[in-house]
Chains A and B, each alone.
Chain A
């Protein structure tokens, strides 16, 4: 049996930035975008669950850094089979770039205890940077295997992984502990389990309990061992100078709204005449044909 930590992030659903989500000034109305479990982090969770299926007694802990509402994805993870969740939340984390984020996450992992395997998504869809996984591995001084499509075996303190490359694949072997990032071609995450949903729907973090007027709920969760833990920067013994904006080497100098240099476009209807005219035009210009 193994100890596994899965890194998961709650992200705005950038796949749905259609015209409905745009404001008049051409920026995205974030409030209109649902906050979701980052897709490849679900692949990471599934890879962890598959190990748990094979090696009963394996424990899976989810770790996320984000605002109070990010506890939603921790519960989502519990419904699908994770054993516990940790939420790192603090004003001190605001404005963190990938380096500061990976520092905070690595402090939390040290506090939880270095597991055998850390699983992360390849990248989060709000930035597509794919940096946090490798940076966490570096901070912890452990090897990394990126773009995992499958974890073939874990035994004798070694893990075998199939990696998806741009063109082709690779089978690699590493000693434990190791950090593995999951590619979107890894198995899809299993759905929620109805029994677990009943069991964990009242699992809450400290902040959620404080904000809840529901005394019954508060009483309930206090009586049992909490499965969700909330930590601030101090709890994980992190150095404040390495967190947030101040701890981030990258700064945003400016953000510019791009107004496309509109071309003189010719607008055509979908009528037969218009379409045939355009095709003839393209042929006569030798653009096609």
Chain B
């Protein structure tokens, strides 16, 4: 009862990385709260996952293995998860901010009447005082995420409703194995107990999952372009530089929205989180939602024609000027100097 539970996403035969990252975060939250860490896996053909999941320090592993739970559809997963949560009463539920988590999370939160915060960049435990009601709460989940309106971060809490729910994007938290030999208590869940006929009205006719072509997350050098790049053609300059020095190209949301770059390249709170050894920001101003996805870069170079661009504060090197004529010269001098 009142534990921390992570909904683990099962896709194409394996558990998604984001779920392991959340288990690691969940473990540390559970330690702080003095409660247990639970993992919930819904799907079909789930044999052999126990060890892999247990390693992250899971105390209780709930598995519902049922043909009707794979591939993922909203209603069956909602029915089983909410049915189970009504019995186990977790105080915190975490899920990945993935296509699945963002489809399922709000459905569960509405069904249980609990609050949900999307795309958190940090989770902590802390107290809260409701001055109006004169009430004090201990050990609430701080759901921390950038808020719209400049470089602002908001801490959100759910004082009265349970579970406290949050989604987090892949790569934001770090995964860490607690012990290779750790064994979770395995609890088999009978999905049939919760599923009704009406839950099966959506059918998948065809499904195609491609593996991602872009490996931004693991690239040691990232060249990111923002709205200042100005056009899709100009983005080719970034690709040329990336090709020359062996980097991957990322983008800000403004660049993606303007159609200069593809959505899969977006870095930030609602995109990918990267931790490269070198990050070259080209024509990016540096709003908090962007910074959230790159602040752990070891070295930052900013190319910007505005000396006051906020990102310059984070930069080791600032090149002041227009990227259109700076990047071609970077390529030229690189070719000249590297032998």
Is A265's CB under 8 angstroms from B212's CB? no
Residues in A with CB closer than 8 Å to B207 are 168-171
* Residue in A28, A250, A260 whose beta carbon sits within 8 Å of that of B150 in the complex: A28
Type the 1/0 row for B261-304, where 1 means its CB is closer than 8 Å to any CB of A.
00100000110000001100000011110010000000111100
Asked if A198 is at the interface of the complex by the 8 Å CB criterion, the answer is no
* Segment at the A interface, from B28-36, B46-54, B87-95, B112-120: B112-120
User: Inside 8 A of B309's CB, which chain A residues have their CB?
Assistant: 19
Q: What residues of B have a CB within 8 angstroms of the CB of A19 in the complex?
A: 285, 306, 308-309
- Taken residue by residue from 248 to 289, chain A's Cβ proximity to chain B (1 for < 8 Å, 0 otherwise) reads as 111111111111111111111110101110111011000111
Cβ of B43 under 8 Å from chain A: no
Q: A253-B156, A257-B151, A267-B320 are in contact. Are A172 and B208 (CB under 8 A)?
A: no
The one of A166, A184, A252, A263 in contact with B156, judged by C-beta atoms closer than 8 angstroms, is A252
- In the complex, residue of chain B having the shortest beta-carbon distance to the beta carbon of A147: B99
Binds A, one of B56-64, B174-182, B325-333: B325-333
Contact of A255 with B291 at beta-carbon distance under 8 Å, contacts A249-B114, A266-B318, A268-B320 already known:
no
Chain A interfacial residues counted at CB < 8 A:
83
**With A255-B152, A270-B321 in contact, is A134–B315 under 8 Å at CB?**
no
Q: What's the tally of chain B residues with a CB closer than 8 Å to chain A?
A: 100
Interface residues of B in 58-100 (CB under 8 A from A): 71, 73-75, 78, 98-99
Nearest chain A residue, comparing its CB with the CB of B156 = A250
The answer, yes or no, to whether A129 is at the interface (CB within 8 Å) is yes
CA distance A127 to B287 in the complex (A): 15
B148's partner among A99, A126, A288 (CB-CB below 8 A) is A126
* Residue B217, interface by CB 8 Å: no
**Do A249 and B151 have beta carbons less than 8 Å apart?**
no
Q: Residue of A at shortest CB range from B286?
A: A260
Does B154 interact with chain A (Cβ within 8 Å)? yes
- Residues from chain A with a CB closer than 8 A to the CB of B246 are 288
Interface assignment of A143: CB less than 8 Å from any CB of chain B: yes
With A135-B106, A249-B114 as contacts: A26 and B319 at CB distance below 8 Å? no
B185 within 8 A of A: no
Q: Are A279 and B312 in contact (CB under 8 A)?
A: no
Stretch from B187-195, B196-204, B229-237 contacting the other chain: B196-204
Which B residues are in CB contact (< 8 Å) with A172? 73, 202-205
When the two chains form their complex, are residues A15 and B210 in contact, meaning their CB atoms are under 8 A apart?
no
Contact of B321 among A147, A254, A269 (CB under 8 A): A269
Known: A15-B257, A102-B110, A172-B203. A288 touches B316 (CB 8 A): no
Q: Mark A159-171, 1 if CB is under 8 A from B, else 0.
A: 0100001111111
- CB pair A139–B110 under 8 Å, yes or no, is yes
Known: A253-B142, A276-B337. A18 touches B285 (CB 8 A): yes
Residues of the B chain whose Cβ atoms lie less than 8 Å from the Cβ of A261:
313
| A26 and B151 within 8 A (CB) | yes
Select from chain B the residue with minimum beta-carbon distance to A141. Answer: B198
B110 and A134 contact, CB distance less than 8 A: yes
Counting CB contacts under 8 A, is A22 at the interface?
yes
Contact between chains at A256 and B153 (CB < 8 Å)? yes
CB distance from B69 to the nearest CB of A (A): 16
Q: How far is the CB of B245 from chain A (nearest CB, A)?
A: 5
Asked whether A225 is an interface residue with its Cβ less than 8 Å from the other chain, the reply is: no
Over the window 47-81 of chain A, the binary record of Cβ atoms lying under 8 Å from chain B Cβ atoms (1 yes, 0 no) is 00000000000000000000000000000000000
Kindly state whether residue A30 has any CB partner on chain B within 8 Å.
yes
Q: Which residues of B contact A249 (CB under 8 A)?
A: 113-115, 158, 160-161
B157→A251 contact, CB < 8 A: yes
Most chain B CB within a 10 A radius of its CB, from A173, A253, A262, A268:
A253
In contact, A250 and B326 (Cβ under 8 angstroms): no
From A25, A128, A268, A280, B318 is in contact (CB under 8 Å) with A268
**In the docked arrangement, what's the CA distance between A98 and B209, Å?**
30
A19 and B304 alpha carbons, distance in the complex (Å): 12
B149 at interface, CB cutoff 8 A: yes
Known A253-B157, A260-B151; 17 more pairs at CB < 8 Å: A126-B148, A128-B119, A128-B270, A130-B118, A137-B107, A160-B205, A165-B209, A172-B205, A255-B152, A260-B291, A260-B313, A267-B317, A279-B337, A283-B337, A288-B245, A288-B246, A289-B245
- Can you name 28 A-B residue pairings with CB atoms under 8 Å? A17-B287, A99-B109, A128-B269, A130-B118, A134-B74, A135-B107, A138-B78, A138-B106, A143-B74, A144-B74, A146-B74, A167-B212, A249-B113, A254-B154, A255-B152, A256-B154, A258-B288, A260-B291, A263-B300, A263-B315, A265-B316, A268-B320, A270-B321, A270-B326, A274-B319, A275-B330, A283-B337, A288-B221
The 5 closest A-B pairs by CB, nearest first: A270-B321, A249-B115, A250-B115, A27-B150, A138-B110
